[in-house]
Amino acid sequence: MAKYRKKPVVIEARQFTGPTGHELAEWCGGKARGTFGGRLLPNMIDIPTLEGEMTAHIGDWIICGIKGEFYPCKPDIFEQTYEPADGGAS
């Protein structure tokens, strides 16, 4: 799994690409729901956050914060805020 840096804090993050929805939901304690490409594959993940439940859509990043909390982040915000911490991208 790639690691990304939000200066000066290093976090873990995974991008929701659709077929990985069940794995991501398990990772962040959320619930996968919906369909993808006409199959029963998730296109949304409901994530319990410190501010209440939030929904991640395909393309969003799911971030594990510095206190172990999870929350979704839109791709454009993620790109502007984080950079790879291990010299590579996911």
Can you give the pLDDT at residue 52? 95
Can you give the pLDDT at residue 14? 95
Q: Is the pLDDT of residue 90 over 60?
A: no
The HSE-up count of residue 78 (CA atoms within 13 Å, CB side) is 22
Can you give the pLDDT at residue 16? 94
Can you give the pLDDT at residue 44? 92
Global pTM value: 0.79
89 vs 68, residue with greater confidence: 68
**SS3 labels along 23-83:** HHHHHHCCEEECCECCECCCCEEEEEECCEEEEEECCCEEEECCCCCEEEECHHHHHHHCE
pLDDT tens-place string over residues 20-71: 788 999 999 999 988 656 666 788 999 999 999 999 999 999 999 989 999 9
DSSP, collapsed to helix, strand or coil, labels residue 2 as coil
* Residue reference for tokens 């993940």: 45
Q: Is the pLDDT of residue 15 over 90?
A: yes
